[in-house]
Structure 1
Amino acid sequence: MTVDRLLPGEEAEDLLALVREVADKELATRVTEHERAETYPEGLFATLGGLGLLGLPYPEELGGGGQPYEVYLQVLEEFGARWAAVAVAVSVHGLSCHPLATFGTPAQQERWLPAMLAGELVGGYSLSEPQAGSDAAALACRAEAVEGGYRVTGTKSWITHGGRADFYALFARTGEGSRGISCFLAPGRVEGLSFGRPEEKMGLHAIPTTMANWDGARIEADRLIGAEGQGLSIAFSALDSGRLGIAAVATGLAQAALEAAVDYAHERSTFGRRIIDHQGLGFLLADMAAAVDTARASYLDAARRRDAGRPYGRQASVAKLVATDAAMRVTTDAVQVLGGYGYTRDFPVERYMREAKVMQIFEGTNQIQRLVISRSLAR
């Protein structure tokens, strides 16, 4: 099933055609092997970076692809439809580039950003802590100013690409209160930095999620991004974009589940008719299609506002809420359509269902999205 997309120009159409070709060749052919064996796809991110697909939403003058966010998110959706774990990691990499691209000095950008946007350096986002997930202002990891830089001590958690990334957008405390948090472009390997065993997750097995232990590791002074105390505002400015990335990935996952269910419903017959011709199941598939289309419309609306320079924070939360709830519902219904087969590993829908659940949790739980939306209405 090909998604009928409204794209802003021929260049975007050509890009999406390339993305589909790459996703079918590099992602769809490898996903089952790596997800079942829980092995990392060596070389894949270098391939995607070499094709210019890891820096798409950033300006060309910074080394990016200069693409509107509307187009970038549709690229993530295509990735998500083939391999959700990789799509999430691509979104997180883009999120990790945001602090430097938006708040870094020209010298910092010149030094690091080209390699980051080209995918030569793959990033992770290090904000959460064991006791500070949704409440980012409560983080305790500390960066103490010392001669020539900072000494970092503390524990960070839930890091996508943890232990594999070449750099981390690290948020650590340099003072007290919500204005005492700073942002650093931390190296992926430095003395005093170690990583815990990868989490044993329900899904997204091919990309590790780990804790990071900072035991007095030294970071050079020029790795501070923005001013001391600006970290929380930097983090929150990036999270709106990150939520849209997850909304797009969730939409791709839901699209894949819908397609698997429709294909099966065409092939399976009961009582002398294809099961898609039974009204009860046909209506279920119709609801699934409506949920996917609604999710896509939600993230595109927010992306277009972002591209136009208009406020889009509430719309980003709506998109994340709508798309990830839709992914959970559609993947669950896909398992139901396939019946007993849906509960086996012979078909991918059981994996889709497992992968969808976490999307209601990370980049701000859906309860937090409701809080953001309700507060915007109160204002």
Structure 2
Amino acid sequence: MGERQLPFPRLALQLLAALILPSLLTGCFSLRSGEEASVRGEPVQMDEAYTSEPAPVASASRNASGAMAAAPMAAGSADLATVASPDDSGTPVPGDEELPVARLRVYSADMELSVGSVQETRQEIIDYAEGIGGYIESSGSAPGGEYLVIRVPAEHFDQALAQIQSYGEVLSRSVQTADVTDQFFDLERRLEIATSARDRLYQLLERSEEADERVAILRDIRRLTEEIEQLRSSLESLSRLIQFSRIAVQLRARIQTNQLFLERIPFAWIAQLDPLQVTVWSADAPFDVAVPSQFAVFDAQNRVQAESADGVRIRIGGRPNNPVGDASFWQQALEYHLGPLYKSAEPVRIGDFMGVILVSKDPKPFSFLIAVVPRGQELIVAEVFFPDAAARSALEGPVFDMLREVHP
């Protein structure tokens, strides 16, 4: 009796399990969040982290799996450690065997300016951004003034902040940073594993002669191809966030005429809501939020801030539930008081949250979601800014799924 052969399907299954299981077990990203610096009422000076000389340009080569490279990585987006090099004799310097990893960082800033002429200042900012290799991500009108969101090469981030600040009186400014090193290399590793698994499946497909086996292998190849495309897309989005820093500028005329409407709103936190400014506070107690992988996360204590490469911004935190009301009460208050300032105000319910989606009156309108869920004497408030219809169409689903899983 001849030697017993391992059935081909079992061989394929064991190989697939060995290749795919590690990628399935890796789904969470570890982020080290940066500090947020913010002021209100007068110009401020940048802290040491943002006024230092730019670091050397970093680069990351394309790996064997075809992962999106981070090169050329903009200076100012990565803190690079010094790498030892061989001496003249060719003898490696001690420490060569453990090279430090360059830290990959995403920078973002928000600024509110009081200016003499909103239109003239707006054009000055546009001309400046384009002159240093940046671009306009979105712009339009918002309650109390106009807004402009630009992306600038990360090596010009500090310079751009100083230049824009010089155009008017700084009413508020905040700077955030997120360390996305672990997230970036985790995505690369998962992409490499998925690509390697798909290559092995193609080899198995060539050896297979059974129709059922070929159908099963092709099904797994299609699934892995979808996973690979999603991972590549996430890497490309993260690379854009690293290379181009975001600066959002709110321009307000020194003489305001439309501020009167906001001042009549009896609920202070609703009157203070702004699509481009962080108005939520840190919550009284922690809450769990699984932010979608398309976003870089800026964590503060008991508050979440995140942004995507498309300019979608998430802010979740707390405000006093005063007067005490349920989610339905605050939903009606949001619709009644903010609706007249926008083209439309659509009531929505997302899991435990209730709120409205506001659409601006601009030719290319933005959307602004405000949703709340009471937690005793506190409101957990979620704000999501979609700069345009395309960004909303792409990320509204993942954002809504995230909010459905929040149970304060």
Name the TM-score class by shorter chain: under 0.3
TM-score normalised to structure 1 length: 0.26
TM-score by length of 2: 0.24
Higher CA-based Rg: 2
**Which structure has the highest strand share of the two?**
2
Structure whose residues are more often helix by fraction: 1
